[in-house]
Structure 1
Amino acid sequence: MITAFQRFFKSKIGLGLTMAFLLLIGVAFASMDVSSTGSLGGLSGESNVAVVGDEKVSALDLSQAATNALDQVRQNNPTISMPAFIAEGGLENVLDTVLDRTAIAEFGRKYGLRAGDNLVNSEIRRIPAFRGPDGNFSEDAYRGALQQQGLSDVGVRDDLAQGLLAQQVMVPVAFGTQLPDKLTSRYAALFKERRTGTLGLLPSALFAPEEDATDAQMKEYYDANRSDYIRPERRVLRYATFGLDALGDRAEPTEEELRARYTENSSVYAASEDRTFTQVIVPTQQAANAIRNRVNAGGTLAAAAREAGLDTAQIGPVSRGDFARQTSPAVAQASFETANGAIAEPARSGLGWHVVQVNNITSVGGRSFEQARREILESLRTEKRRRVINEMAASFEERLADGESLGDVTDELDVEITTTQPVTAAGLVYGTRDQQVAEILRPVLATAFQMEEGEPQLAEAVPGETFLLFETSTITPSATAPLAEIENEVKAAWKMSRGSIAAKAAADRILERIGGGTTPAAAFAAEEVRLPRPDPINITREELLQSGQRVIPPLALFFSMAEGSTKRLEAENDAGWFIVGLDDIEAGLIASDDPLFAQAKAQFSQTLGSEYTAQFIAAVRTDIGVETNDEAVAALRRQLLGNN
């Protein structure tokens, strides 16, 4: 029975569980280096949407934050448009998040917290998107990422500083929050609590009128529910693929290049040796010489170290270069110039004086040019392919900027252009349920939906093997579908809405009967419309949660009602009305060693921490002062909806 209700109870857009988290991420790089004029008291025109303390939040700040938040939501829901995002309350959520974050940062500054340049620099270096091929921070990668997102260096640094201030303020608020065991027991026992009652459904379809809506009724309903009929953005893509054969000999290394690479890396291919050591580190040269003398007199390094109250460490096998990086060049030189089994001359590193005994020496033979040839060939070939592709991309961009078309470029490559049907950002052919875009386009689909029309790009479809030249040729923006095109859909929805109104009236009659002492089954049967018989419910919270599925609203209501009460609840999308009755509550018991007790303690402690955080943010807002310009927010909403 519960499964049937779960299938029945579906949401229109699955944003509820992820919205708050995604919006928080979405504003992480939202602030721009924008100066604005005017102030609250007063705000001039549409320049600022809010003032937080002394900090102004411009309309451009909020617009950029909303755009970034939408991009984040699109990672889970690629077809959502800005109008749908705003209809779901996205702009208000973004504004609240921006105001909270700004207020927290202002609060931190007010009470002496700081986020200096060095701290901001360290945060930038930790962001994976700003790392180069070697895994280290790359200035080029950093600048490229900012340019791609339309951000400025100053704006990103300001935003990171604001975020760091927020961390300093907020982390201590809920850190280490714990719910007392006695209180945990009371809450945890609720999981064992058993409730019995009934759950009935009055489907709107059973009460829907048979006659169609008039033109006036259709127009009125359509205008009131335009956000329900927003079509996703769709694009027509043109693309062509080509393989390595199109590169010709340009990507093939010459004999001279192979030999030059071998010479440049002669140390890599030269003979070398790895060594293993036993080592002890002491603070002074005198102590190091004393230990070395004891070993040379016939003792062992381990025994000499123990006499000094120290422990030895085993190192290796390790090369000379690696050992130098671990210790110091002086320690490595002394250790690699000492015979096997002997104690090296003590040398110093940043940790102190090293006494090193050579345990083993393994020679690694060098490789001749012919032996290393294949390895060098593959490495150089990969590098040259990348360089040639980059040169081709630059050449294509220049030619296309000079007025040449995608066809001109593909004619030179002797490849054909394929044109798709209109497709959505989710990779579906528009108007179909399961027809997918060509597999080769999937890796570049997100990029294609950020491009302007007629601006081709080059990408690797299969790294090092197949290349893709693609462009967006036609863009159809997201918009509400014209009524004439969705007339049948709107007619059906109108009937369901009218049916929902009638179902609500029936639900009120059923509640009145139950209140007068009639059983739920008899109250349902008394209706002229033949209704499904209400189902009995006998379940604990623990059993409900064990299903692992979303708890549908009627059952959530069932576990929040008072014993002996009956309530009605509207289903989503005008689908109908629920009648929920709670007959009996059997209190639960839980032992302190029950695994559920520990889970409850962790869960409710986290909830308590969230409550502390929410209350603290509210207090910060009051302390700093937040004023919002509703007219400017409304103007920005119209702009984002394209209604200017």
Structure 2
Amino acid sequence: MLTTFRRFFQSKIGIVVTMAFLALIALAFASMDVSSSATFGGVSGGNRVAVVGDEKIGTADLVRDANNAVDGLRQDDPTLSMQAFVEQGGLDRVLSQMIDRAAIAGYAREYGLRAGENLVNSEILGISAFRGPDGNFSEDAFRGFLAQRGLNEATVRNDLASDILAQQILIPATFGATLPNKLVARYASLQRESREGTIGFIPSAAFAPDTAPTTAQLQSYYTANRGDYIRPERRTIRYATLDAESLGNRANPTDAEIAARYRENQAQYAASETRGFSQLIVPTQQAAQAIRQRVQAGGSLEEAAREAGLSVAEVEPRSRQQLASSTSPAVAEAVFTAERGSVAVPQRGSLGWYVTRVDSIDRTPARSLAQVRGEIAEELRLEKRRNALADLAVDAQDSLDDGEALADVARELGLQIQTTRPLTAAGQVYGQQGETAPEILGSVLPTAFQMEEGEPQVAEVTPGETFVLFDVARITGSAAAPLGEIRDEVVAEWRMAQGLAAARKAADRILARVRGGATLAEAMRAEDASLPAPENIDLSRQELAARQQQVPAPLALMFSMAEGTTKKLEGPGSIGWFVVNLADIVPDEVAADDPFIASARQQLAQRTGEEYAQQLIASMRGELGVERNAEAIEAVRRQLVGNTN
């Protein structure tokens, strides 16, 4: 989860360097970057969290941006709660970004830069979220976007103006950032080098105590690591399915209804005939007659057409009425009176004189009511089912809106109410690996996680076929699990934490022995605990990149160390410590015309530009001055996690 936060919040403002500043604007709207200007006094006031120069950042602004940030992150992690977000430092990162934006805007104003109304309008017109189905700016889409995120137009315009000012400042400062050719060549050669060394692992489990912690020790550990035990919000949903089975015999058509439908569509069941034909069109009657006579004399229509410099077109089977409407009644009459394989008498049509050869004749006899009864009955059954289900769904929603309980409405409709086990927003049954919510709730689950308890709704699951009546029976908020419920888990992790501390001391002892001249294997064998043998590494950077996966931290450390050094590194999840010894670096020369040089130059230019941008923003903050209101920030923190004490 912490990795997700870091990826989200550490998107560099250096995106500007790549000229994709509109992407930054889109990210700002989709996630969190919406700021506004409060009009209060100094930072000590209770309704502002920070002051940047003369600009105040209000508590309401911070609350709104934090909520927007969580909404954005939930697109990738639906189970994310505000409590977990705050515990992992998300609120601090939101505030830091707001301060950066205020600093850029304040600095720009101080030095005479501006973002006029027309420029802001052009940015609004270019944002895809504000476009309608025709691809153009839509006032309705714009207003709907603002309403969905609880924003007003002034706030959005202010935010876009800040982005434009950032563009005016940062692009000139970062554009064209380059590094000397020697440095680029050196960087390129580093990407081709190979490294040899040894990696040893000192597991926490080898040093974990066998004894249980005291009550005080366990409570202290739990309190310090409370954020690791936050459970996601869970909701228990009650629901009833309204489908064809709920209608009983109500959707079955009567004999009278079937007979009436047959009479209404008598023409559909009457005898019919369609003909497929080939045709060519000529401008005069004489030319048409000459071609027909040529075919009657023993030639083919295709040969006659070629001799006249024309081509024959095949026409799909059509009814007399269809042909008459596309050509003329006379052409249709001629075609439908000719024999199969013969050329009909040429007739004038809409485009000229038609010469047609009848290729196929398909006659369908008339069908009686008895013959089509089943077809009509099924058609009526589907129609009545859709209408009846829609009517029942509307009636059910009206009853729920009038205050009737879900159980009462379900009973009136003869539906059975079912209750799920506690579900997470991701659709998983809480605490049950691999078990998911009932399939019928898949499309309504996001709505269920926005509802309050006891507010039943009706939703269409399969258009015209299935509806679901549902409500939230119980909401269990996101919070740290009580120590009593997870005592065994906390005890196990306390042991691992103690083992990790002891493993660190062992790693320090091993480092000292290696620096004293011992090999890593010898230094590890000198420990009283039984440790796994170290692993020998001989790897190039290209081989490392070819793995196309996340590089293990010990290998990453090995490829960032100086030759002949030994370092230690804490492993993830308190598993233990790594000791990394780099014995040799084998460089690889890169020719000046190697294409990799150009790639390295581009990479370094982008990173350099990002660093310029960060340093410039830091200087702006320093020049304008930043004050934080710790009490107000803490009040917002308590409000977001639901702790008002």
Deviations 1:445-500 (A, max 9, x none): 33322222233344443456544443322110000101110011011001101111
Is residue 142 from structure 1 mapped to residue 142 from structure 2 by the alignment? Answer: yes
> Which residue of the partner structure matches residue 271 of structure 1?
none
Which structure has the larger Rg? 2
Q: Which has the higher mean CA deviation after the structures are superposed, 504-513 or 179-188?
A: 179-188
> Which residue of the partner structure matches residue 189 of structure 2?
189
> Which residue of the partner structure matches residue 355 of structure 2?
none
- Residue aligned with 1:443, SS: coil
> Which residue of the partner structure matches residue 224 of structure 1?
224
> Which residue of the partner structure matches residue 632 of structure 1?
632
Contact 1:29–1:156 (Cα < 8 Å) also in 2 = no
**Equivalent position amino acid for 1:586 in 2:** V
**Equivalent position amino acid for 1:615 in 2:** Q
**Equivalent position amino acid for 1:622 in 2:** G
1:223-242 alignment to 2 at 5 Å? 223-242=223-242
Deviations 1:296-352 (A, max 9, x none): xxxxxxxxxxxxxxxxxxxxxxxxxxxxxxxxxxxxxxxxxxxxxxxxxxxxxxxxx
Q: CA deviation at 1:245?
A: 10
Q: CA deviation at 1:203?
A: 0.4
> Which residue of the partner structure matches residue 170 of structure 2?
170
- Residue aligned with 1:588, SS: coil
Q: Could you say if the C-alpha distance between residues 512 and 588 of structure 1 is closer, same or farther in structure 2, counting changes exceeding 3 Å?
A: same
> Which residue of the partner structure matches residue 91 of structure 2?
91
Contact 2:208–2:500 (Cα < 8 Å) also in 1 = yes
Is residue 207 from structure 1 mapped to residue 207 from structure 2 by the alignment? Answer: yes
> Which residue of the partner structure matches residue 18 of structure 1?
8
Is residue 406 from structure 1 mapped to residue 396 from structure 2 by the alignment? Answer: no
Deviations 1:569-615 (A, max 9, x none): 11122211111111112222112443433332222221111111111
> Which residue of the partner structure matches residue 612 of structure 2?
612
> Which residue of the partner structure matches residue 41 of structure 2?
39
Q: CA deviation at 1:401?
A: 4.1
1:408-447 alignment to 2 at 5 Å? 408-410=408-410, 415-447=415-447
For residues 245 and 125 of structure 1, the distance between their equivalents in structure 2, rounded to whole angstroms, comes to 50
Q: CA deviation at 1:205?
A: 0.6
1:324-343 alignment to 2 at 5 Å? none
**Equivalent position amino acid for 1:582 in 2:** L
Q: CA deviation at 1:123?
A: 3.5
Q: Could you say if the C-alpha distance between residues 129 and 246 of structure 1 is closer, same or farther in structure 2, counting changes exceeding 3 Å?
A: farther
TM-score (norm 2): 0.70
Q: Could you say if the C-alpha distance between residues 111 and 461 of structure 1 is closer, same or farther in structure 2, counting changes exceeding 3 Å?
A: farther
Contact 2:242–2:467 (Cα < 8 Å) also in 1 = yes
> Which residue of the partner structure matches residue 281 of structure 1?
none
Q: Could you say if the C-alpha distance between residues 442 and 177 of structure 1 is closer, same or farther in structure 2, counting changes exceeding 3 Å?
A: farther
For residues 177 and 516 of structure 1, the distance between their equivalents in structure 2, rounded to whole angstroms, comes to 45
Number of equivalences: 504
Contact 2:36–2:158 (Cα < 8 Å) also in 1 = no
> Which residue of the partner structure matches residue 544 of structure 2?
544
Deviations 1:194-239 (A, max 9, x none): 2211100000011111121222221121111111111111111233
**Equivalent position amino acid for 2:44 in 1:** L
**Equivalent position amino acid for 1:206 in 2:** A
> Which residue of the partner structure matches residue 519 of structure 2?
519
> Which residue of the partner structure matches residue 61 of structure 2?
61
Contact 1:129–1:142 (Cα < 8 Å) also in 2 = yes
**Equivalent position amino acid for 1:16 in 2:** R
Q: Could you say if the C-alpha distance between residues 541 and 39 of structure 1 is closer, same or farther in structure 2, counting changes exceeding 3 Å?
A: farther
Structure 2 unmatched runs, 5+: 14-23, 252-260, 262-349, 353-381
> Which residue of the partner structure matches residue 496 of structure 1?
496
Q: Could you say if the C-alpha distance between residues 13 and 614 of structure 1 is closer, same or farther in structure 2, counting changes exceeding 3 Å?
A: closer
Contact 1:243–1:466 (Cα < 8 Å) also in 2 = yes
For residues 592 and 179 of structure 1, the distance between their equivalents in structure 2, rounded to whole angstroms, comes to 15
- Residue aligned with 2:114, SS: coil
- Residue aligned with 1:403, SS: coil
Contact 1:33–1:154 (Cα < 8 Å) also in 2 = no
Contact 2:568–2:578 (Cα < 8 Å) also in 1 = yes
Q: Could you say if the C-alpha distance between residues 434 and 417 of structure 1 is closer, same or farther in structure 2, counting changes exceeding 3 Å?
A: same
For residues 244 and 86 of structure 1, the distance between their equivalents in structure 2, rounded to whole angstroms, comes to 47
Contact 1:569–1:578 (Cα < 8 Å) also in 2 = yes
Q: CA deviation at 1:411?
A: 5.0
Deviations 1:421-465 (A, max 9, x none): 111112110001211122333333333222222333444434565
Q: Could you say if the C-alpha distance between residues 139 and 624 of structure 1 is closer, same or farther in structure 2, counting changes exceeding 3 Å?
A: same
Q: CA deviation at 1:59?
A: 0.9
Q: Could you say if the C-alpha distance between residues 220 and 108 of structure 1 is closer, same or farther in structure 2, counting changes exceeding 3 Å?
A: same
Is residue 111 from structure 1 mapped to residue 101 from structure 2 by the alignment? Answer: no
Q: Could you say if the C-alpha distance between residues 628 and 539 of structure 1 is closer, same or farther in structure 2, counting changes exceeding 3 Å?
A: same
> Which residue of the partner structure matches residue 486 of structure 1?
486
Q: CA deviation at 1:240?
A: 3.7
For residues 180 and 459 of structure 2, the distance between their equivalents in structure 1, rounded to whole angstroms, comes to 57
Contact 2:233–2:475 (Cα < 8 Å) also in 1 = yes
Contact 1:29–1:159 (Cα < 8 Å) also in 2 = no
Q: CA deviation at 1:52?
A: 1.8
Q: Which has the higher mean CA deviation after the structures are superposed, 54-63 or 121-130?
A: 121-130
Deviations 1:344-374 (A, max 9, x none): xxxxxxxxxxxxxxxxx999xxxxxxxxxxx
- Residue aligned with 1:18, SS: helix
For residues 171 and 459 of structure 1, the distance between their equivalents in structure 2, rounded to whole angstroms, comes to 49
- Residue aligned with 2:191, SS: helix
TM-score (norm 1): 0.70
For residues 159 and 398 of structure 2, the distance between their equivalents in structure 1, rounded to whole angstroms, comes to 35
For residues 643 and 457 of structure 1, the distance between their equivalents in structure 2, rounded to whole angstroms, comes to 30
- Residue aligned with 2:567, SS: strand
Contact 2:51–2:626 (Cα < 8 Å) also in 1 = yes
For residues 31 and 206 of structure 2, the distance between their equivalents in structure 1, rounded to whole angstroms, comes to 50
Structure 1 unmatched runs, 5+: 1-10, 250-254, 256-360, 364-380
> Which residue of the partner structure matches residue 280 of structure 1?
none
- Residue aligned with 1:192, SS: coil
> Which residue of the partner structure matches residue 374 of structure 1?
none
